Amino acid sequence: MDLNLVEHAFELKDDRWIFKAGLAQYPQARQVAKLCTRFIPDDEDEQIDDEPRSCYNCQYRRWMVAGFECLALRHLLKK
């Protein structure tokens, strides 16, 4: 994934890449997922977006109270 897109869509907080748009921001989640080279669809029963290719439907997504963390971006952790 393009580093500019990562920094535009995600924020590094406490060694976690958090989706800036938060919850229920389907257009943004779809746009990012379309450009993500690490996207893997989650189990169908875990998917919440009607559009299959969405960060909300990704196996690397981990839900948080106000959004989600992207585990696929862990390799980009800044020191």
Note the pLDDT tens digit of each residue in 21-40.
Answer: 999 999 999 999 999 999 99
Q: Which domain holds residue 37?
A: 3-76
* Total domains, the chain: 1
Q: What is the reported pLDDT for 78? A: 54
d(CA 30, CA 2): 15
In which band, very low, low, confident or very high, does the pLDDT at 44 lie, cut at 50, 70 and 90? Answer: very high
CA distance 53 to 32: 9
41 in Cβ contact with 58 (< 8 Å): yes
* 67 contacts: CB under 8 Å, gap ≥ 6: 18, 19, 21, 22, 23
Q: If you average pLDDT over every residue of the chain, what do you get?
A: 92
- Tell me: pLDDT of 47 over 60: yes
